[in-house]
């Protein structure tokens, strides 16, 4: 039989690891969707957006509120950071007149 304090500590560690893991998953999918949308042809853009929205729909249906929040936080940061960075890079790459 496991000590109740140890069980509680392990449960909290598991929750924190799930939260961090879903933030990382959100960052990765947000970056992948933003990068594919920016660099790809229209077929790849459609596939990236539909795949991202399908993953979000699966999370809304099957994940807990905390897991969905962690994924949304990570994907929002990923899309914003890499989307804004990509926009800044394209402006810097264009020759000024």
Structural domain count, the chain: 1
End-to-end alpha carbon distance in the chain: 75
Whether pTM > 0.85 for this model: the answer is: no
Residue, of 83 and 96, whose pLDDT is higher: 83
Evaluate whether 57 touches 75 at the Cβ level (below 8 Å).
no
pLDDT of 5 above 90: yes
Residue 18, domain member (yes or no): no
Cβ atoms of 6 and 57 closer than 8 Å: no
pLDDT tens profile 31-46 = 888 888 888 898 988 9
pLDDT tens across 53-94, in order? 999 999 999 988 888 999 999 999 988 888 777 566 655 554
Q: Which domain holds residue 41?
A: 23-88
- pLDDT at residue 25 is higher than 70: yes
46 in a domain, yes or no?
yes
Residue 49 lies in a domain: yes
User: Would 59 be classed as within a structural domain?
Assistant: yes
Q: Is residue 15 part of a domain?
A: no
């Amino acid at each position: 039989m496991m000590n109740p304090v140890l069980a509680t500590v392990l449960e909290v560690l598991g929750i924190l690891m799930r939260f961090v893991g879903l933030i990382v998953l959100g960052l990765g999918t947000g970056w992948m969707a933003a990068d594919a949308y920016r660099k790809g042809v229209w077929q790849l853009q459609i596939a990236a957006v539909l795949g991202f929205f399908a993953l979000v729909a699966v999370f809304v249906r099957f994940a807990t509120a905390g897991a969905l929040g962690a994924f949304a936080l990570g994907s929002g940061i990923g899309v914003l950071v890499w989307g804004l960075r990509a926009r800044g890079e394209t402006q810097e790459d264009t020759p000024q007149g």
